[in-house]
Structure 1
Amino acid sequence: MRNITVAVDEETHRLARIRAAELDTSVSALVRGYLRGLARGDQAAVGADALAETEAERRQRLLGEAIDDITDNGGGLRVAAHVPRDALYERSALH
């Protein structure tokens, strides 16, 4: 295996270490995954490890999508579909 030395600014290094820790990996593993994808010409795989969501990010994204769906669809309720209050108390209206 060959070693590669890369110089980055302090902030990039700090953020990369934080992200690697969130993904339970190392900065070297993130760079290695990026370079493997780049060498294969696989654009989808390039940096896939670096772009992986943490569990908390995934939950946040899914919650946001669910809220957007509810908001866009009016909560699944339509005024036209509502039964008038008086009709709810009529037995025939429920069958």
Structure 2
Amino acid sequence: MKNITVSVDDDTYRQSRIRAAELDTSVSALVRSFLERLVRDGSDGSGARGSDAETEDERRGRLLDEVCEDIRATRSGFRAADNLSREALHDRHAVR
């Protein structure tokens, strides 16, 4: 993996760190994801649309599908039924 250096103004950097934190990721991961989409889709990020360009709703749906697939791939086997009940969590005698 190669490292790159990118210069951005302070406000852009601050806002990107906030957005990355909201997404529970890093600025580097956001940049990497953008560059991967740029190469894969040929999208330049300008918002210009060709006749076959996806709409904003389609893009959001596709991104949501990608995130869900990533979650399924990295957290296989997770089910809400696997969680302990509140009583079991607070049962201090069970660990003795």
TM-score of the two chains, using structure 2 as the length reference: 0.44
Which structure ranks higher in relative contact order (CA pairs < 8 Å, sequence separation ≥ 6)?
A: 1
Larger radius of gyration: 1
Structure 1 or 2: more helix by fraction: 1
Q: TM-score, normalised by structure 1?
A: 0.44
